[in-house]
Amino acid sequence: MTDIIDPDRPIIDPHHHLWDRRFVPQPAAGATDFERVIGLSPLYLLDQLNADAKAGHNVVATVFLECGAFYRADGPAEMRCVGETEFVNGVAAMSASGLYGPMRACAGIVGHADLTLGAGVRTVLDAHRAAAPARFRGIRHSPAWDADPAVLGMLQRNPPGLLAQPAFRAGLAELAAADLSYDCWLLAPQLPELIAMARAVPELRIICDHLATPLGTASYAGRREADFAAWATNIKALADCPNVVMKLGGLAMPFGGFASFMADPMATAQALAEEWRPYIETCIEAFGADRCMFESNFPVDRGTCDYATLWNAFKLLSAGASEAEKTALFSGTAARVYRLGL
């Protein structure tokens, strides 16, 4: 049983997924590290989320992030993603009944839409809002790409330069016009593309996921010191864009190449805090606590640690922060950015 640090502190987990992958072929020999991690949690629904959230920390609410789950089986291709929002809104309604405890799971929902539809994405956004009128908050259409396909493996799905494409920019403009936010998962070398986009669409609320995913595997292995310097420079430039906030997490994924990934025995909270400290502190210093939020990225991050250990690591990392800063990092920024009314 993990000893919980500061157990009464309210937490809003602003980034987790739900899925049922029991009917998807499980990782075979030669699977990538990411495939192995996903295979650890073939089923992650309300019961599994509740079990994690009740492991000792005071998780009061969560925000769901799209992950390609529960799409409609038929209908127009661009509308099938709405099935995910329909499903998650049902999960949120279950949680809001109080039958499963006081936590309000999926109080905010970030779905997917193909932003390359440009102005045509408006119909998809309207359908998402109709499916979850009280909870739908934004879209994530990831532009993640790298010249080395071994970095992303199965997640290498996009063309390069997606954020600069005129059609994609038109889709982003539709998000801004609809008062919806944009969650952006990309890789550290792509940060200049995000900086340019944030400057070009200043009216859009942008959430950068996972500290922009610093890399340390494949062709990036052995380059941590030099790559950290470039990442930090770009993070500071991104922080100059007032419409961007940063999610602090996702470093437990395989892409960073940290020693803690799939370690046996599992890394302690103290070890994780020291491993991640340069990245977390750089972002908090650049953005300020009121533009940063800790995130679990569960169940993806389970390959490195359990839920209780993850939040303990975040609490160790923020031990020197003021009470107001801790409130922002653990709940306040998430509540404000995703307009949760909590």
pLDDT in tens, 36-65: 999 999 999 999 999 999 999 999 999 999
Mean pLDDT, the chain, whole residue set: 97
**What HEC string does 93-151 produce?**
HHHHCCCCCCCEEEEEEEECCCHHHHHHHHHHHHHHHHHCCCCEEEEECCCCCCCCHHH
pLDDT band at 143 (very low <50, low <70, confident <90, very high): very high
Q: Give me the percent of the chain exceeding a pLDDT of 70.
A: 100
CB contact at 8 A, 2 and 55: yes
Q: Is the pLDDT of residue 1 over 90?
A: no
More confidently predicted of 93 and 31: 93
Q: Within a domain: residue 342?
A: no
Domain membership of residue 172 (yes or no) is yes
Average pLDDT over residues 173-192: 98
Check whether 166 has a pLDDT greater than 90. Answer: yes
The helix (run of H) or strand (run of E) holding residue 312 is helix 307-317
Q: For residue range 312-333, list pLDDT tens digits in order.
A: 999 999 999 999 999 999 999 9
* Per-residue model confidence (pLDDT) at position 178: 98
For the segment 284-291, the average pLDDT, to the nearest whole number, is 98
Name which of 271, 139, 135, 300 is nearest 210 in CA terms.
Answer: 300
Residue 17 lies in a domain: yes
Within-domain flag for 4: no
The number of domains in the chain is: 1
Residue 118 lies in a domain: yes
Instruction: Please give the average per-residue pLDDT across 148-160, as a whole number.
Output: 93
- Average pLDDT for 218-230: 96
Which whole number is the average pLDDT over 82-94?
98
> Is residue 271 one of the residues assigned to a domain?
yes
pLDDT at 29: 73
On whether the CB atoms of residues 317 and 84 are closer than 8 A, the answer is no
Instruction: Tell me if 5 is assigned to some domain.
Output: no
- Compute the average pLDDT of residues 303-318: 97
Neighbours of 66 (CB within 10 A): 21
Is 104 in contact with 89 (CB distance < 8 Å)?
no
Percent pLDDT > 90 in the chain is 94
| Per-residue pLDDT at 2 | 82
Does 1 fall in a domain? Answer: no
Mean pLDDT of 139-163: 95
Q: Which domain holds residue 43?
A: 10-337
What pLDDT is stored for residue 159 in this prediction? 95
- Is the entire prediction scored with pTM above 0.85? yes
CATH number at residue 158: 3.20.20.140
pLDDT digits (tens, 9 = 90+) for 240-272: 999 999 999 999 999 999 999 999 999 999 999
Nearest CA to 159 out of 142, 173, 172, 175 is that of 142
CA distance 7 to 185: 30
Over residues 211-236, the mean pLDDT reads 97
